[in-house]
Amino acid sequence: MGNNIGGNESGFTLMELILVMVVMGILAAIAIPTFMGLLPGMRLNGAARQIMGDLMDARMEAVKQNNPFKVFVLNDHEYKILDDDDGDGIDDSGTETSRTIDIQGNYSDMTISYTGSPPTIAFSPKGTATDLGTITVQNGSGLKSVSVSVAGRIKIN
């Protein structure tokens, strides 16, 4: 009664399971090094997008608050965004707000540099930009440039 002599059993044999595991292991051994090689480039793109997003945010806040915003490159991994209420380009602590962003907080292998003089990008209340320049972010996989046009357009090159 309890015997299943007819051979209707279904499922996988131990050999089939081992074979599938071996094939998956070989595929993983091929795919993981390739994926690891792509990570520095993905981090570079992410860092450039973060800088672009912060610049776009500064521009939108300048328009929204109807006062200038300035972005200062401080060193090879930090930049500061200043809500420059009085338009003097100086961080008047207590009356004006600023925030400093360390790009290496999220992207440890990144460095930034600035092309232009002074090392500042300023957004006017109309959304246009002055003190133009380019922020370049780089790591071992290459570099990306984030530039701002006079019209305030921000793009990654």
pLDDT at position 82, please?
A: 93
pLDDT number for residue 102: 95
Contacts of 151 (CB under 8 A, 6+ apart): 127, 128, 129
DSSP SS3 for 93: strand
pLDDT (0 to 100) of residue 52: 96
pLDDT value for 32: 86
DSSP3 helix / strand / coil % (the chain, rounded to 5): 35, 30, 35
Q: Quick check: 154 and 55 in contact, CB under 8 A?
A: yes
pLDDT of residue 23: 94
* Cα distance between residue 79 and residue 103, in whole Å: 8
Tell me, what's the pLDDT at 4?
56
Q: How high is the pLDDT of residue 116?
A: 75
Domains of the chain listed by start with CATH number: 40-156 (3.55.40.10)
**Which residues of the chain fall below pLDDT 50?**
none
